[in-house]
């Protein structure tokens, strides 16, 4: 009986997370287009629904019903599995993300995470690294020069940005004495780690931007020079899987920012429910990413490498050193 | 030391501090944020709004009539003669009152380049280019405007250059919903940019 109940709870949580993650790109694309429009003195989508709110649904229907073409010279099997390979890790990492403190329902204590792993942070960093394989596969299987170059760039970008990202997080782990995300948030109930770790946050934010391949580090799909990068040859539903993946990784980086540096669900000043605080902070970080996208130009490939290896890596190492000395 | 893009030539202490704290990037972010809260210049044309053109605008031709309703045109064919693309066809005849009037007055709008020379050439100020710019058709043949069509076309506006509320109706016309006398000034009030009104 206990076991059945536990399995049932896990199933409900999984279904909830998968559903939310699948639906999340809908409001996010709307928001992104609105932000883009207003920053360029346009209105953005206006015609489908109130202020274009139903526009992403119309786009989704269009993508679902479009013909799904596979280029003649493509490796058909790899071409088909690449979007799935890219999408699965970004769904998997969300099982360790806690969305609040434990709640008690009908006498049973339920954690607001599918699995409260003790090595949660390590698990996330390890699994999210797998996402790049999907992108590389897509670039390789498309048999197109643009896609190949996009995949190549993603590969190099990931290598140079995963390391500073991991190092930037070490400062937080040292402060919290734990890799468990819930415990890291617990450690911030007094003071948020952004106060102790401003450099760590900066490195994490920049590496995170590179991780989710958004401007100014969107070299893998640089419209100007690569068509659409690794998903140039993709169309229809497979293309939308890649888009969904991008948005989910953006949400993941925002969630990690909030959990690691902005006190998770701990609020300040206003006594709002913890989950509302959490979502509010995540939304703000997502907005920040969109704001960046419509402000900054793209870095050149060699500049990207320079920033990764010559700036972020020493900075994150120095951050660990200083944190260690001050502890 | 080799000069690269990352290390610009002369950087003072202040510049260096600014560079460290991403001052340039923050300037950019502030600018885009100010744009985010500035009014949009989008004209919601067929759905909600419509542009009323300036009086000098050269749109669909129209033929002026006298107060008794007879056309002013005397079928002198000067407009047809001066037209650089030969899009005007005028066939004169003698009307019931003995005046010389056009029997046929066709303008091929598919050929017309809206230069307004016909308006300049007309000795009796009969033909002119009006405010209507919504005359898209599916075939070039449908773009031939005859005498009746030209007589019924709207004339020039008194004052223009603004946007009024309008709605797309079943059919082809986008008709204003409210008063057309005064409207929003569209691009003139964007980000504090004031341009003298074109009268």
Q: How many Cβ atoms sit within 10 Å of the Cβ of residue A64?
A: 11
All structural domains of chain B with their residue ranges: 40-57+157-199, 60-155
Condensed to tens digits (0 to 9), the pLDDT of residues B61-79 reads: 999 988 888 889 999 999 9
Cα torsion at A50, A52, A56, A62 (round to 10°)? Answer: 110
Query: Is the pLDDT reported for residue B3 higher than 60?
Result: no
CA pair distance B48, B166, nearest whole angstrom:
5
Query: Which of A56-60, A77-81, B25-29, B80-84 has maximum average pLDDT?
Result: B80-84
Q: DSSP secondary-structure letter at A307?
A: I
The chain-wide mean pLDDT, for chain B, equals 82
What pLDDT shows up at residue B182? 67
Tell me whether B23 touches chain A (CB under 8 Å). no
Q: Name the closest residue on chain B to residue A40, using Cα atoms.
A: B35
Judged by CB atoms closer than 8 Å, whether chains meet at B47 and A40 is answered as no
CB B158 within 8 A of CB B55: yes
Mark yes or no for CB contact A296/B41 under 8 Å: no
Q: Does domain B60-155 have CATH number 3.40.1010.20?
A: no
Q: Among A176-185, A216-225, A226-235, B89-98, which stretch is predicted with the lowest mean pLDDT?
A: A216-225
Spatial separation of the C-alpha atoms in residues A168 and A264, rounded to whole Å = 17
pLDDT at residue B7 tops 70: no
Mean pLDDT of B80-108: 91
- Nearest residue to A216 via CA among B3, A44, A224: A224
Strand-strand pairing, B127-129 and B61-63: antiparallel
B189 — pLDDT class (breaks 50, 70, 90): low
C-alpha angle with apex B52: B50 to B53, nearest 5 degrees? Answer: 130
| Maximum distance among all Cα pairs of chain B, rounded to whole angstroms | 96
Instruction: Please give the full DSSP string across B11-42, using - where no structure is assigned.
Output: --HHHHHHHHTTHHHHHHHHHHHHHHTSPP--
Instruction: For residue A234, report the phi and psi dihedrals to the nearest 5 degrees.
Output: -90, 150
The separation between CA A266 and the C-alpha centre of its own chain, rounded to angstroms, equals: 21
Residues A45-62 pLDDT 10s? 888 888 888 988 898 898
pLDDT band of residue B188 (cuts 50, 70, 90) is low
Angle at A78 between CA A73 and CA A80, to 5 degrees: 95
In this prediction, residues B85-104 reach a mean pLDDT of 91
CB contact under 8 A, B40 and A294: no
Residue A209: closest CA among A219, A197, A199: A219
At residue B4, does pLDDT exceed 70?
no
- Out of A37, A41, A295, name the one closest to residue B28 (CB): A295
CB < 8 Å from B in window 196-235 of A: none
User: How far apart are the C-alpha atoms of A35 and A32, rounded to whole Å?
Assistant: 5
CA distance A53 to A35: 13
The count of other CB atoms within 10 Å of the CB of residue B63 is 24
Q: What is the pLDDT of residue B89?
A: 92
pLDDT of residue A105: 74
Phi then psi for residue A249, to 5 deg, are -70, -35
For residue B36, list chain A residues with Cβ-Cβ distance below 8 A.
35, 38-39
pLDDT confidence of residue B34: 86
Question: Which of the 8 DSSP states describes residue A235?
Answer: -
| Tokens describing residue B172 | 């082809």
Helix (H, G, I), strand (E, B) or coil at A77: helix
Q: Which of A37, A39, A306 sits opposite B6 (nearest CB)?
A: A306
CA distance A313 to A199: 12
DSSP states along A94-153: GGG---SS-EEETTEEE-SSS---TTHHHHHHHHHTTHHHHHHHHHHHTT-HHHHHHHHH
Mean pLDDT of A98-106: 77
Q: What is the pLDDT of residue B199?
A: 42
Query: What per-residue confidence (pLDDT) applies to B190?
Result: 64
What pLDDT does B192 receive?
56
CA distances from A257 to A172, A250, B198 (A): 11, 11, 53
Q: What is the pLDDT of residue A154?
A: 84
Instruction: Return d(Cα A110, Cα A103) in angstroms, integer.
Output: 5
Please give the C-alpha separations between residue A224 and each of A135, A184, A298, B130, in angstroms, as whole numbers. 19, 41, 10, 43
Q: What is the pLDDT of residues A191-204, one digit of tens each?
A: 888 888 888 899 99
B115-134 pLDDT per residue, tens:
999 999 999 999 999 888 88
Cβ count near A106 (within 10 Å): 6
Distance CA B168, CA B45 (A): 9
Residue B64, CB-side half-sphere exposure with 13 Å CA sphere: 15
pLDDT (average), residues A25-35: 90
Counting residues of chain B whose pLDDT is more than 90, the rounded percentage is 28
Helices and strands in chain A: count of H runs, count of E runs: 15, 2
Q: Which residues of chain B make contact with A47, given a CB cutoff of 8 A?
A: 47
Check if the beta carbon of residue A239 is closer than 8 Å to that of residue A142. no
A1-5, A13-17, A92-96, B166-170, range with the lowest pLDDT: B166-170
A-chain CB neighbours of B41 within 8 Å are 41-42
Chain A segment 245-304 residues within 8 A of B by beta carbon are: 291-292, 294-296, 303
Interface contact B38, partner A, CB < 8 A: yes
Residue B162 clears pLDDT 70, i.e. is over it = yes
Please determine, for the modelled complex, whether the ipTM score is greater than 0.85.
Answer: no
Q: Give the 3-state secondary structure of residue A71.
A: coil
pLDDT at residue B198, rounded to an integer = 47
CB A78 within 8 A of CB A137: yes
Average pLDDT over residues A168-184: 88
Is the confidence at residue A176, as pLDDT, over 70? Answer: yes
Residue A220: pLDDT band (50, 70, 90) is confident
Chain A hits for B43, CB-CB cut-off 8 Å, are none
Residues 23-42 of A with CB under 8 A from B: 35, 37-42
Report whether B180 contacts B163 (CB < 8 A): no
CB A71 within 8 A of CB A146: no
Is A43's CB within 8 Å of B29's CB? no
Q: Does B25 touch chain A (CB under 8 A)?
A: yes
Asked whether residue B194 carries a pLDDT value surpassing 60, the answer given is no
* Residue A326: per-residue pLDDT: 86
Pair of tokens at residue B166: 């309008």
Show residues of chain A in contact with B40, CB under 8 Å.
Answer: 37-38, 41-43
């Amino acid at each position: 009986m206990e076991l059945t109940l536990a399995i049932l709870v896990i199933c409900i949580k999984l279904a909830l997370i998968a559903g939310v993650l699948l639906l999340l790109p809908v409001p996010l694309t709307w928001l992104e287009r609105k932000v883009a429009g207003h920053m360029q003195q346009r209105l953005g989508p206006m015609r489908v629904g109130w202020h274009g709110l139903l526009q992403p649904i119309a786009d989704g229907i269009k993508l679902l019903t479009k013909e799904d073409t596979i280029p003649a010279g493509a490796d058909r099997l790899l071409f088909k599995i690449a979007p799935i390979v890219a999408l699965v890790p970004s769904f998997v990492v969300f099982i360790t993300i806690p969305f609040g403190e434990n709640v008690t329902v009908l006498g049973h204590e339920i954690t607001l995470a599918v699995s409260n792993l003790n090595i949660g942070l390590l698990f996330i960093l390890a699994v999210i690294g797998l996402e790049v394989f999907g992108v590389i596969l897509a670039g390789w299987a498309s048999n197109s020069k643009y896609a190949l170059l996009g995949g190549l760039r993603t590969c190099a970008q990931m290598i140079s940005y995963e390391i500073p990202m991991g190092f930037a997080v070490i400062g937080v782990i040292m402060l919290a004495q734990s890799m468990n995300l819930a415990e890291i948030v617990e450690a911030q109930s007094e003071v948020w780690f952004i106060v102790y770790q401003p450099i760590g946050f900066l490195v994490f934010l920049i590496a995170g931007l590179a991780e989710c391949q958004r401007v100014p580090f969107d070299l893998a799909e640089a419209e100007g020079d690569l068509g659409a990068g690794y998903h140039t040859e993709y169309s229809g539903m497979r293309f939308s899987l890649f888009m969904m993946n991008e948005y989910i990784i953006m949400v993941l980086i925002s969630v990690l920012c909030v959990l690691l540096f902005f006190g998770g669900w701990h609020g300040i000043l206003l006594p709002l429910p913890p989950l509302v605080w959490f979502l509010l902070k995540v939304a703000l970080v997502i907005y920040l990413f969109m704001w960046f996208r419509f402000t900054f130009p793209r870095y050149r490939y060699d500049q990207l490498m320079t920033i990764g290896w010559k700036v972020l890596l020493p900075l994150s190492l120095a951050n660990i050193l200083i944190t260690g000395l001050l502890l | 030391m080799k000069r690269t893009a990352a290390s610009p030539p002369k950087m003072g202490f202040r510049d260096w501090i600014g560079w460290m704290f991403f001052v340039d990037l923050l300037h950019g972010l502030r600018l885009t944020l100010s744009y985010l809260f500035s009014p949009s210049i989008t004209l919601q044309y067929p759905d909600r709004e419509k542009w009323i053109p300036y009086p000098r605008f050269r749109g669909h031709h129209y033929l002026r009539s006298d107060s008794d309703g007879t056309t002013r045109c005397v079928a002198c064919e000067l407009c047809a003669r001066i037209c650089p693309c030969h899009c005007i066809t005028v066939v004169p005849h003698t009307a019931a009152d003995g005046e010389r009037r056009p029997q046929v007055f066709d303008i091929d709008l598919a050929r017309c380049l809206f230069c307004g020379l016909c308006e300049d050439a007309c000795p009796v100020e009969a033909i002119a280019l009006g405010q209507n710019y919504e005359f898209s058709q599916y075939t070039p043949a449908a773009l031939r405007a005859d005498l009746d069509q030209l007589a019924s076309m709207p004339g020039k506006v008194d004052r223009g250059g603004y946007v009024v509320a309008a709605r797309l109706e079943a059919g082809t016309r986008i008709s204003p919903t409210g008063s057309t006398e005064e409207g929003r000034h569209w691009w003139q009030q964007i980000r504090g940019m004031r341009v003298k009104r074109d009268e």
